[in-house]
Every structure is written in C-alpha cells, then in structure tokens.
Structure 1
Amino acid sequence: MVPTEIKGFILTRHWRDVTAGTEIEYWLATDAGPRKVVLTSQTSVAFVETKYRESVETHLAAMPGLEVRELELKTFHQQPVVGVYAKHFRQLARLARALRIQGIPLLEADVRPHDRFLMERFITAGVLVEGGRADGSLIIDCKLKPAPDYRPVLKVVSLDIETSQDEELYSIALVGTVDRVVFMLGERPPESSEPSDFSLIYCSTRKALLETLANWFERNDPDVIIGWSVIQFDLRVLQKGADACGAQLHLGRERRPIDWRTHPGKQGYLFAAVPGRVVIDGIEALKAASRSFSSFSLEAVSQELLGEGKAIGDEYDKMAEIERRYQEDKPALAVYNIRDCELVLRIFDKADLLQFMMERAHTTGLQVDHFGGSIAAFSHHYLPRMHRLGYVAPNVGEIATKAFPGGYVMDSKPGFYDSVIVLDYKSLYPSIIRTFLVDPVGFVEGSNMSDPARVVKGPKGTLFSREKHCLPEIVTTLWRARDEAKLAKNESLSQALKLLMNSFAGVLGAADCRFFNPQVVSAITLRGHEMMKLTRTFVEKRGYEAIYGDTDSIFIWLKRARTNEEAHAIAANLVKDINDWWTHTLRREHGLENFLEIEFDTHYKKFFMPTIRGSELGSKKRYAGLSVDAAGKEEMVYRGLEMARSDWTPLARQFQEGLLSRIFHGVPYKEFVTDYAQATLAGRKDDLLIYRKRLRHRLDAYQVNVPPQVRAARIADEHNSRVNRPLQYQKGGWIQYVMTQNGPEPLETRHSRIDYDHYLTKQLQPIADAILQPMGDNFMVLTSAQQGLF
C-alpha cells in the first residue's frame, strides 16, 4: 500500500484492452516527481433500451465478457434501459455496429474509459491518490478522488528545429528548466567559437542526432513540451526524419513513441500524444485563451507581445541564410535556433499561457493539451449529473439538424452622437440558464409534467422543470468559482471559467453534440431577444434612446452632451434600476430568483455608427467611439471598421483613424483629407499601399473566381520558378501585394507603376464618404477642389 496520500495533476491519459480487461493509465505531475497510475480490470458500460434486451443477448455468446444488468435509468423518451457491461472497451464498439444494422442504438458506447472514470468521480485535473500498490514511480489500482486546488510546478522545455527548404533536419534546440542545448548535425568545425550561454553538441548522422534527443528527454524528463507549430512542423519533421533513417523517436516517458493521429475533419492536421508529457503549441494556446493577432507567426507575436523578434530577412532570405549558416557558420545557426526557443518561453510567460492551460484543464476536465473541446467539456460535467437524476444521454444525431435563432442584433440608427453609454448583461446566456432553469433534462421533465406550478415557461411553448435539472447547478458552481478566482486575482482561472460557461449555449446548438436540441438552445437565445427588447423599452421610458444593441449589449444615447461625471452617474442609476426591475418582475410574475445582471461598460464622449455601404440603413457590428473612463482617460475604439480589419491596407486604416480622431476631437478635418489624398498621389505613402491577404485554399483550387491575392500569388510563384527559388504559395499562405496599372503584383516582383487612382477610389473614398456624408461633405468635393489632384 502507498503509505501516504499523494496529490497529482493529470498530464496524460490512456486506455488499452489487455487479456485481463481494460487498463487505464494516467501520468501525474506530483511534488515528488512524475507518477504513473495504472487501474487494471476496468469494466466499460453502455446502455440500451430494455425492449431491445433480447436482441442484445443474442450477441453475448460471440462476445465473452459482456453482461446485461438491470438499472434504474431511462432515456429522454422515458424508455427504461439496461446496462451493457464489457470486459473490454472495444467490445462495445463491435456491439454498437452490430446493433446499428438492426436499427438499435447503443447509448454512450463512445465514452472512453479514461474519461468516464474521471467524470463519474467529478475529477477534472487535480487528483488525490489513495492506497494501491506502489513500485517506484508506478502506482497500481489505487483510489482517485478530486483535488481541485492542487497546482504543481511543471518542468517545461521549449523545442525548436531548423531545417533545409526541403525539411531536411539540421539542428534541434531545447531550452528547459535546467538545460539549454542545441544538437547540430555535422562535425565540429575546426577552431569554431563555443557559445557561452548554451551547450552545442555535434552529431555526425541524423540517426545519432535523434537518438541524442531521445536520451536528453529521458535524462531531463520534462512534463511539458512547448513550441510554435510544434506538432504540425517540429515533431512531424522529427518523426519523418526518424522514419527515414531507422531511428526511434522515443520522446515519451519510459522511452515510448509518439502516438500519431489525423484529424477526421482537417486534412493534414495531426495530433501527437506523447505518453507522460503534454505538448502545447503556442499558436493554439493563444487562440484558446481568446488572444488575437494580425498574424500568428512567431515573429509577429513576438514583436507585438515582447517588442522584439528574431527575423533574418524575408522567407527567401531566411531560408538562404539558414542554409548559409549551416554550411559556413554552424554556431551562428545554433544561436538563431535557440533564440526561437527563448522567444516561445517568453511569450508563454508574458501571456501566462501555461497557467491558463492548466486552469483550463482544472475547469473543463480535458487534458491540458486538448484544444477546442467545448462539447467534450460539457459532457464531462453533464453526464455524471444526469445519471444521478436517472437519465442516460442520447447519441449524436438523434435530433435532426434544424436552424435556430442566434443572438439578438438591434437595427442601428446611423450617425454621429454625443454621450453614448453602453450597458451589457454579465455572462448573458449562463445567467439565462441559471435564472430560467434551461436544461436538457429539465426540458424532458418539464415536457412530461401536467402541473403548471412545477414548470418554468420558456419561449415558443417550451417547459422546464423547476425541480429536476443539471445545467443550472453546473453554471452556478462555475460562476461562484469565477467570482472566487477574481477575488484571488487569478486571471487565468477566471478566463477559463468564463470561456467554459459561455460555451454552453453554443454546445447545445452544435449538431455534433449528443445534447443538441433546437428547442432548448432557442429557449436561451429567444429569452435573450426578449430581455434586450424589454431593456430597450425601459431606457426609452426614461427619456433616452437606444441606438444599437448586439446580443448582450445596448447602446444608449443620452440625448445631449453630458459631462463624464453625469454620464457615469446616469449609467449607474440605470444599472441599479434595471437590475431591481428584473428581481421584482421575476419574483412576482414567475416565482424565480434573478441571476440576470446588467453592468455599465463604456461611456463614449463621441460615437459614430455608419450606414451599410451603398445604403441608408445602419450597419451592424461596426462602430467607432471616443471612450472616457471614470478617471477621464480617453481612448479611440474601433469595432468592425476598416481600421480593425486586416483586409484593408494600412493606407485606409490610418486615414480612417486620422479622420475620425479629428472629428471626435473637434479638429478641422478638410485639409487633412485633401493633404492625405495629395500625399498618396505623390507617392509619399507608398509604404502603406500593401495588401496582405490569406490564400485559404491551394493555388490551383481557384478556377472560376480568381481574386487579386490569387493573381498576385501566381505571379510570385511564376517568378520563383524562373529564378529557381522554392514555390511559396501552391498550398496557400499569406501574400503581400500592391495594385498596379497592370493589376495586382506581389512585392517579390513588382514591375508596373502604382495605380494610385485605385487607392483613392477603392480605399480612401468609401471610408471618407461613410464618415463625411452625415456631415454634408464628401470625398470627391473636397479633393476635386485641389487643382490637378486627379
């Protein structure tokens, strides 16, 4: 027996069928080092309606180890079920296929053993290990309980490789907690200088290089591998190199290989499971944390977050320089290689990415490096609770896909305004779930109740049980945890909890979720519509005007210019009165406790809502404003306008920013417009004319509609072919180009004169007219007044 309890953090999880049954394996990070937990002879379970029991039993003889048991559970259709227990998990998949031919669904047969074991014990990432048999770092057949407060210190290594243009491996850099090293292919150059702050080890063959890497992992034993495109590029290339030279890429604990899987819906996208170690890609982690950048290249993110980068020229110069350093100056290549590792580590530290990913695992119940996964996280929380209420889950696809209403977007009233305040509902959809008891089980229960006092009426005749539900309690638990995280200033945990709660409505509306139900998700979104309309009526009865609203936010014009103090005071009074109104209304009319809470968000001293281009109708999700906080600090805010969109040139974005800023601050703008247009025509803004657009498909996929970026990319690769350089755009990517008098031309090979008229009429004029027309001006009148401008 293990003499003391051990707390651990789950790094990886795995299951396998062996002769004795199903085994579950968890690798844990603990204060005493890594521990492997193995649970033997685990029974897997699925469910089938009782009326199909005889059909199931006809398959038992061919599948020894299967057993059918009576249970006190039922389906959403109120049909009783029996449990089908299997010695081996794969037996359930075989049985499910056999029954499917007969039109019989086997329910929950796809829930993997290592996930079900954790969810049924309400374990997410932290575990308390009790008992079991210990053999060094191995613990067998112990008990696991939740340990939600355990946070270990993880050993991290940043990994980066350098290759030739054809992905031939040159070097591998590793920066870890205690070691900084570069493994370089080739012989040590004579009289080469040694780097002072890391080790440079030469390996004569690629096989030796990869075996040295595996030895390093065994010796240093990191918990986490981080990098930039670390799976899709670095690990993939390492595996490719290992396969080519007969080496074993044993980077997992116990010198186990990487378990590679392909994404079923993303061609060429790979998953890499490294036993005992977590692999976190910096790009995926930033996206999971809702961080956005104009480009997710390491150079772009480094420049934006850290104020520095690592570039050694453009794509062509970079590859040529890497090749030159490998052939002529390997220590310099090693410096460049390890620099990438350092930048990734610093980005992770600056953005608290590792802490966020750990807190996300604690919140969702998913493995640390499981990106996306909103449906899996929902199931992790929901399934065990619905089982305890006597229900089993439906299979995916039980309800046919059907459209349902999205968030409410109010028609906007375009124009310029003084003093606009924005109020928004805190976590609108989670608060609707809590308040109105919206829930899949609650919907099933409510639909089968005859006593109106026991149900909550939802939109379009939906009914939800007041007594029997799961999701409101789940949201309440997460909500309280987030409040505690905010008090403790744990931003990573607070963000992870917020993202999880806000994903629940989307999960219920996802056709590939087993709980998909248009009626249930509509009960959330349509309640949001009703709330926004009632809020609009409320504020307009106070003498103000709602000029726009979007899902959970309402923009309120205070009808005249107000001081900042006045605007904030009006906002505070509205917030209090609206929240009080909801509390009293819900208690009086529905007998419900109110968890809806509107908050003050922003005061715009000046605000602009444009029209839809070519129309007099107000646009949606597009506006700009000069915000002022309680301390009087001003900030220009742009949402959805060209200023905030990457498909417009810097010329357009800077023009829009300059024009709006002048109008908001009461500075004359006419001279700015004419001077800007004149400078553009004179070539003084040529560095701002660059379009940067993404090719989302292979270059040869564009046949009928060929947009400018594709034409530019084809010109670029035709040029690359002529000068014997690698083709850059055949598989997609980002292209930079300018519009010339002969059409779009890439920066790599521009020969024609700039088409300045294009930039005036297609970039500056649409922006100017959208802003100036409400003021009685237009771009053509202002610019044509300058003699010879056109």
Structure 2
Amino acid sequence: MATFNNININSGFLLTRQVQDSASGLQVTLWLKSSSGPVKLQIKHELAVFFVEHHQLEIAQGILTAQDIPLAKSQQLSLKTFAQQKVAALYFNSMRSFYRAREALKAKQIKCYEDDIRPDDRFLMERHITADITYVSDVMTKGLGDYIDGKPSNDSDKASQGYQLITQARCKRATAQSDISLTMLSIDIECSMQGQLYSIGLYACNTNTSASKDEFKRVLMIGEPQATSENYIQWLKDEKQLLQQFIVAVNGFDADILIGWNVINFDFILLQKRCDLYGIEFAIGRDGSSPNWRKNANNPEQNFIEIAGRVVLDGIDLLKSATYSFASFSLDNVAHKLLGLGKKVVDVDNRVEEITDNFNHNKPALAAYNLEDCRLVWLIFEKTQLLAFAQLRAQLTGLAIDRIGGSVAAFTNLYLPKLHRSGYIAPNMGDGDSGLVSPGGYVMDSIPGLYENVLVLDFKSLYPSIIRTFKIDPMGLIEGLEEVRALKSVKDKDGHWHQDNRLRVIKGFDGAYFSRDAHFLPDIIETLWLERDKAKLQKNAALSQAIKIIMNSFYGVLGSSGCRFFDPRLSGSITKRSHEILKKTSRWITAKGHKVIYGDTDSLFVYIGADKSKQQATKIGLELQKFINDKWQYTLQQEFKITSQLEIEFETHFTQFLMPKIRGFNTGKNAGKNTGKGQNDIGTKKRYAGIANGVMIFKGLETVRSDWTELSKDFQQELYRLVFNDEPIDEYIKMIVANLKHGHYDNKLIYQKKIRRKLSDYVNTPPHIKAALIANKKLTAQGKEQQYKHRSTIRYVITLEGVQPLEFNDSKLDYDFYVEKQLKPIADDILPFIGRDFESIAGDQLGLF
C-alpha cells in the first residue's frame, strides 16, 4: 500500500467482476485479492452504451420514446465505423433498458455497434485494466487526479465476513504486475449413482507467510463416528448437516480459488441441487451470497458458476486451455501420466460400486479415496503451474481468470481501447465478410521413404511473424485501403497508379493493402514476443506458454467468423503469405543441393544425405538457418521496403526418419532405404516417425492416437525401433502374432473412444456407438441408469460375435480381426521400405489357430 497526500493507494488482483441494476443505476462490482486480504469494490452510477450511425440517431431516439424505453443520454461522437460513417452513443442507466433498446432498434433495422460488450468489461477495458488494479481506499481526493470518492466501508457486518468494502471506488491499471499470492482449496464429492452425497473432501497445501507449506486435510463424512487413526474425518449425522458443514468449511478456509476435476459441471451442480432439495442457502460467496449460474448458449450441457469473491477453476478445462493433450482426461489417467500416481480404488472401471460398498462397510477407506482425489488435483495444478498460467493469461489479456477459451474476447480486450483512441468503433460480426475464402496452413505433398539424416527447419511463430512483418491489422487494412483510394486518384502521365506510390502501403492478398503506420496488432505482438523472450530467459514455463498461446490465437481470431474483426482479406494475407514463404524457402534449399521431402504450416523437412555425421548435419542445419534468415531479410527489403521479422530455426536432426505412404497405395519392394524411391507413391501428411537425440518421436501415428489399442502402440514402437536400428524383425513379429492368438494380450485389445454427439444423431452407426447402445440396453435391463451418452467414453472390444462393450462382453475375441486391422497396417507402413512385408513374415502364424 502506498500513501499520497494522506490518501491510501492500494492494489489488488481481480478475481470476479459483475454488473447489476440498482436503485441508483448501474453498479459494477469487482472483487480483488490485495496484500491485506479480499476487497469488494463498488463502482456506482455507471452507464451501459452502444453506438448507432449518426444519421440514424433521431430515428433511434424516436423508436425508444415510442416504446417508453428510458434513455439516460445520447451524444454525437467523432468516432466512425470502418465504413467511415460517423456515430453517436446511446447511454442507459439500467441493463433492462439497454437490452430493450437493443432489441427495439434491431427490429427496426437500426444497426447497433458494440452492443454485446458488458459494462463491467467495458469499464475495465477502456482503462486498460487486465487483472492488476490500483484503487483508492480513502475519501480524500486532493491532488489525486483520476481517483474520486473512494470510500471504504466501516460496516461491521462486512468486516466480520473478512473483507473490506469500498463504495464509490475509483480504479485504474496497475503500473506493474502484482505478486499477490492466491490461495487454493481442492474440492471433491463422493455420491451414489442417484446423486445422494456420501462425503466431501477438501485439501490444500498453500504457502504461508514464512514461505513454508501448510497442509489442510478434511473429509466431511456421513455416518456414526468410527475408531480410526485418521484425524481429518469429520463425522456428520446426515446429508443436510453435511451440506451445512461444507458451507462452513469453505467460508472458514476462505480460499480465493476453488479447484477440482469436472468440478463445476458435476460437483458444484450436485451440491447446488442438494442444497435446493433441503432448502439450504448455498452461501459460499465471500459476502454470504449464493452462486449465480448460467448456461453456455452454444452448449446447454456446460454450466458457468459465479461466486462472489471466489473463482472456480476446473482442472480439465485449464489443461486444455494450456494445450495439454491426453488420450483420456479422466483424473486417474492424467494423474498417472503427469505424476505417476493413481486413484486409491481397486477397480477404477467400477469405482461407483466400490465407493458405495466402502460407504456402507468401510468409511475410512472411502475418506482416504476422497481425500486422495482432492490431493491428485492439487498436485496436477502444482506440476503444470495451472494457477500461474491462468493468472498470467488474465494479466496479459484482461480475460476473467476462469474464462474457458476466450481468444476472441482476449483480442477484443487488447484491441478495442486502442481502436477507440484512434477514432474508430469496432465492426459487428459479419461486417467484414466479403465472400472470400482464406486457405489453411500450407501442407506440401510428402515424398515417402525411410531416410537417414533429415533436418527440421521451423519458422518461429510464423503467423505472428507475418503479422509483424507485413503490418497486418484490422484498422491497418481500413487505413491502407483509404490511402490507396487517395493514391489511385493521382495518376501518372499515362493514367496509371505510379509505382512509387505503391510502396507507401504494404500489399497483401485479395485486394488488401496495409498502412505502414496506422496499426496496433503488430505492436501488441511485438510486446508479447519480448515478454516471452524474457520468460524463456527466466525459465518461466507458465508465462512462456501463456504468451505463446495468446500470440498464436490472433490468426485464428482474424480467421473466425465468430470475431467482429473477421475479414478474409486479413486471414488470407497471413495464410497465403505463409504458403509463399514456405514454397520460396523450399526452392532456396533445393538450390543448395538438398531435398525437401515435406513441409507443414511453418516447418520444412530436409533430407541431406545418408553419408553425413551428426556434426556435419548440425553444421548444415545452422548454415541453412543463417542463409534463409539473411535471404528473407534482403528479399523483403528489396520487394517491400520492410524489415523481416521472420526467423527460421534449425530445430531437429532426425538420424532416422520415416515418412509413410498413404494406406491403400502400393509401395513396391524396390522403394529403397534412404532414398524415398517409388515416385508413384503418395506420401502422407502430418504422419511421420523418427529418432532425434536418441529419442523416438511419433507424429499422427497410432502411438499418439487415442482410438487405437494399447497393443498396436506397443507393436509400433518396438517394430520401428528395430527397423531404425537395423535389427532383426522376423522373430518379434512372429512372437507378437502368436501371443495375440494365444490370448496373452486380451487386456491390450481394448478400444476406447469418446462419444462426440448425441447417440440419436448418428445415422451410420460406427463400432463405438454400437457398443454404447448395447451397453445402455443391458443397463436398462438391469434396472440401472443408462451410462453412455454425448461426451462420455466407451470401452469396447471386437469379438467373433461383433463389437461388444467391454463391461458386458463374454464372447471370444476376434484375433484375426486384430491382426488384420491393428498389426498389419502398422507393419505395412514401414516394412516395404526395407524390402519386406507383414504377410511373408507372419504368414505361417496366420492360419495356425
């Protein structure tokens, strides 16, 4: 806390934001975590606003008057649309009036601009506030400028709740990122299939003021007290008391962040329903309020929870936002992959039955299981720095810390205030759709083969680099086109647009021209780029990853029709330029005497010959890196008078490398090693394998796919290792086939697949849907609830009687099917390149059983 002219200036980290109607008009409420604890800021007398074109202002006012919709005020502005139309602002002192006015005007074909921006978001955005906020906690205002009427509350009731209330608060962006530590509490519930609660686990291990860790363990359990050595179990007589004690525990611990696994759409939804059943107020907000719930308009099955002064972070959603990928996002699988740990339950596949059995007969075992689930989530958050990632993303973009996805919102937060200060308002969705289609990333045809010495040259953040280099920017496009119109009006003596004038703008694709000076996105990316370089030097993995995701999302935003700045001329000027860059770079490499065998989006795979040592390969890679970077610097300066921000890196040296052919096309036995011969073959895209630094790497192949069996993955990894190391393969293949047919691998022949749609939406029924339908039918026959539906995962096998759900299967597995569909395709991807084939090796095994 700083003091200026007897006024206390405080700072905090933004947890939640909200806007609501009040008797005195709109009120924005911000909950912060400060160095002295939680703070509730109230900003009163705010106005909601949207814009209409100036020439329609009087018509709009007449419509609102006729429908008795109160308008706080209207104001002509110097701002204009991308179509160069001046606008006026319409202000409202309630959200009800704002929504009514918006619908009334749209019904009369009056276009409303920026009518989807909430006043609380606009309040923060226009002040360039992301997550770190400076605010005043004293009524005195002398000499403070922006800070007016910051009144701390002396309400004893509020003080007893453990937070400070400041009314009529004034805020602005903090000058530096806060180092305020947020506290977490991990929550997990255990219940019956019908949703009756058994127990609730809570776990935390936060750093205290002495920089050591304080471990908190508690399991609230329904039942009579039992003799146990575990002192973390709190016994409660019934479900009602369990819920009441949970509310007391949450408020008593007073965490900033509540975490869990599918915690919103399962745990908190169920807790809310059980509270409603018993007439209990689910008062877990810091001000004693209950949560607000809302549904995702595009996905009604997804719920969002807003708790006053607390944030709920779901481990699954955050891992996906941080670009983690797992075959299954079950807690057991993720904990196993990341931590080498698993659940405290014997039979994971039938854990509900075991949980119920433990509740009835072994409550201490259930408590241990419940607590361990909480602890696993905590350890995953620690291992992957998920909280730090969420905080940094909020600080960089202004997104709410619990926001899922939100790349469009992040772009808007960063871009819109700059746009307004340059005299423009944002377009509406659909304004930039010119009927053009921009292509995706460049993927060149590959040359299949088994190679020694393949170098991967990768353009570092290619799309952001193109944006920086060619000044690609929404406002820059509008300004560039305006400049071109002015320039084209001045012709040379032959009536042509003079060539010198062409260089005053930067030419894009599909008729796009970009201003050299009027733009923001290139500068935003440059700032983020420098911050990422700093993060790398500091070995701050969470920050580096957050920045990378944000930068790379900007192309997706500009290419998404769900973004107000969507314009195919923007996205096309990025992707078409990337195609040009990769093709030209490939020609330069070929002219150097090397062979480009594949290219994908921002990478080129270069075969340099089997006769090169590791040292020679590294030398060639670094030479190519310097040559290409220098060449682009010179080329762009000559053609566009711009400085290249493109940077290619020698990333990987594959000592052994396989580029398979597309399955179904014959690769003859003469397709020799190291050469990629067989010119009639068609190579795959986004599928390859190799050895780099002694490590096997698979891309797009069965080893990294979730819809192939465990046996297929084991088989692929070992077979490829043998081939890459020029070791015998016959005995290994024969052994795998024989053991498979003897039933030794039955536990590795299980398919696992997620149900992506509603079961009723499938016209052609794929195997996993057949298995789901069979399982649901059998569950119904047993008087149980159907388990398999949209978003659930089914495990199944292929038997002599066809597809069967694993849990109900009692038929013999179809071993011939697994040999033909799981082993043979994998072997045939690589064996022809060494003059061998699967059937000639395994033929004597195939008919034995």
Partner of 1:23: 27
Assess if the C-alpha contact under 8 Å between 1:700 and 1:730 holds in 2: no
User: TM-score, normalized by length of structure 1?
Assistant: 0.95
Find 2:451's aligned residue among 417, 420, 429: 417
Assess if the C-alpha contact under 8 Å between 1:207 and 1:246 holds in 2: no
Q: Is 1:126 matched with 2:132?
A: yes
Structure 1 residues 340 and 390, CA, compared in 2 at 3 Å: closer, same or farther? Answer: same
How far apart are the structure 2 equivalents of 1:272 and 1:12?
11
Assess if the C-alpha contact under 8 Å between 1:12 and 1:26 holds in 2: yes
Q: Is 1:509 matched with 2:569?
A: no
Structure 1 residues 687 and 81, CA, compared in 2 at 3 Å: closer, same or farther? Answer: same
Partner of 1:631: none
Moved more, 455-464 or 24-33: 455-464
Q: Report 1:286-685 matches (<5 A).
A: 286-314=319-347, 317-400=350-433, 403-449=437-483, 450=487, 451-615=501-665, 616-628=681-693, 634-685=694-745
Q: SS at 1:108's partner residue?
A: coil
**1:498-553, Cα deviation, whole Å (9 max, x unpaired):** 10010001001111111111111100110100100111011111100110000000
**1:660-705, Cα deviation, whole Å (9 max, x unpaired):** 1111111122332223222222323223211122222344544x42
1:437: Cα distance to partner? Answer: 0.3
How far apart are the structure 2 equivalents of 1:776 and 1:498?
43
Structure 1 residues 305 and 197, CA, compared in 2 at 3 Å: closer, same or farther? Answer: farther
How far apart are the structure 2 equivalents of 1:366 and 1:3?
30
AA aligned opposite 1:366: L
1:91: Cα distance to partner? Answer: 2.6
Assess if the C-alpha contact under 8 Å between 1:206 and 1:245 holds in 2: no
Find 1:49's aligned residue among 35, 48, 53: 53
AA aligned opposite 2:46: Q
Assess if the C-alpha contact under 8 Å between 2:511 and 2:569 holds in 1: no
Give the 4+ runs in structure 1 shifted more than 6 A: none
Q: Is 1:184 matched with 2:217?
A: no
**1:589-626, Cα deviation, whole Å (9 max, x unpaired):** 21112111011110000110011111231110000011
Find 2:838's aligned residue among 761, 765, 779: 779
How far apart are the structure 2 equivalents of 1:419 and 1:306?
35
Structure 1 residues 350 and 458, CA, compared in 2 at 3 Å: closer, same or farther? Answer: same
How far apart are the structure 2 equivalents of 1:744 and 1:732?
20
AA aligned opposite 1:711: K
Q: SS at 2:353's partner residue?
A: helix
Moved more, 57-66 or 501-510: 57-66
How far apart are the structure 2 equivalents of 1:733 and 1:311?
22
User: TM-score, normalized by length of structure 2?
Assistant: 0.89
Find 1:105's aligned residue among 83, 86, 111: 111
Moved more, 560-569 or 139-148: 139-148
Q: Is 1:78 matched with 2:84?
A: yes
Find 2:818's aligned residue among 739, 754, 759: 759
**1:552-599, Cα deviation, whole Å (9 max, x unpaired):** 000011033311111111111111111111112222221112111011
Q: Report 1:57-72 matches (<5 A).
A: 57-59=61-63, 61=65, 62-72=68-78
**1:421-467, Cα deviation, whole Å (9 max, x unpaired):** 00111111111100000011011111111243321011233100111
Q: Report 1:706-721 matches (<5 A).
A: 706-721=765-780
How far apart are the structure 2 equivalents of 1:539 and 1:129?
57
Assess if the C-alpha contact under 8 Å between 1:193 and 1:331 holds in 2: no
Assess if the C-alpha contact under 8 Å between 1:430 and 1:502 holds in 2: yes
Assess if the C-alpha contact under 8 Å between 1:454 and 1:467 holds in 2: no
1:85: Cα distance to partner? Answer: 2.3
Assess if the C-alpha contact under 8 Å between 1:195 and 1:331 holds in 2: no
How far apart are the structure 1 equivalents of 2:346 and 2:758?
25
How far apart are the structure 1 equivalents of 2:432 and 2:476?
17
How far apart are the structure 2 equivalents of 1:92 and 1:742?
62
Assess if the C-alpha contact under 8 Å between 2:734 and 2:841 holds in 1: yes
How far apart are the structure 2 equivalents of 1:302 and 1:38?
41
Moved more, 544-553 or 731-740: 731-740
**1:640-667, Cα deviation, whole Å (9 max, x unpaired):** 0112111111222122111111111111
Q: Is 1:770 matched with 2:825?
A: no
How far apart are the structure 1 equivalents of 2:31 and 2:611?
62
AA aligned opposite 1:435: T
1:740: Cα distance to partner? Answer: 1.4
Partner of 2:10: 6
Assess if the C-alpha contact under 8 Å between 2:438 and 2:576 holds in 1: no
Q: Is 1:156 matched with 2:184?
A: yes
Q: SS at 2:179's partner residue?
A: coil
Q: Is 1:728 matched with 2:787?
A: yes
1:723: Cα distance to partner? Answer: 4.5
Partner of 2:161: none
Q: SS at 1:7's partner residue?
A: strand
Assess if the C-alpha contact under 8 Å between 1:447 and 1:463 holds in 2: yes
Find 2:165's aligned residue among 130, 138, 144: 138
1:326: Cα distance to partner? Answer: 1.9
Assess if the C-alpha contact under 8 Å between 1:68 and 1:85 holds in 2: yes
1:402: Cα distance to partner? Answer: 5.3
AA aligned opposite 1:138: L
How far apart are the structure 2 equivalents of 1:2 and 1:83?
38
1:2: Cα distance to partner? Answer: 8.0
Q: SS at 2:287's partner residue?
A: helix
**1:308-355, Cα deviation, whole Å (9 max, x unpaired):** 111424466422222222223333322221111111111111111111
Assess if the C-alpha contact under 8 Å between 2:772 and 2:788 holds in 1: yes
Q: Report 1:218-229 matches (<5 A).
A: 218-229=251-262
How far apart are the structure 1 equivalents of 2:545 and 2:168?
35
Q: Report 1:728-747 matches (<5 A).
A: 728-730=787-789, 733-747=792-806
1:267: Cα distance to partner? Answer: 2.7
How far apart are the structure 1 equivalents of 2:753 and 2:113?
46
Partner of 2:202: 174
Assess if the C-alpha contact under 8 Å between 1:30 and 1:152 holds in 2: yes
**1:227-282, Cα deviation, whole Å (9 max, x unpaired):** 01110000000001011111111111111111100111113211111111010001
Partner of 2:159: none
AA aligned opposite 2:413: H
Q: SS at 1:5's partner residue?
A: strand
Moved more, 709-718 or 740-749: 709-718
Structure 1 residues 561 and 364, CA, compared in 2 at 3 Å: closer, same or farther? Answer: farther
How far apart are the structure 1 equivalents of 2:349 and 2:839?
42
RMSD: 1.9
Runs of 5+ unmatched residues, structure 2: 137-146, 155-163, 207-213, 488-500, 666-680
Assess if the C-alpha contact under 8 Å between 1:783 and 1:789 holds in 2: no
How far apart are the structure 2 equivalents of 1:323 and 1:402?
58
How far apart are the structure 1 equivalents of 2:846 and 2:740?
15
Moved more, 250-259 or 213-222: 213-222
Q: SS at 1:73's partner residue?
A: strand
Structure 1 residues 49 and 717, CA, compared in 2 at 3 Å: closer, same or farther? Answer: closer
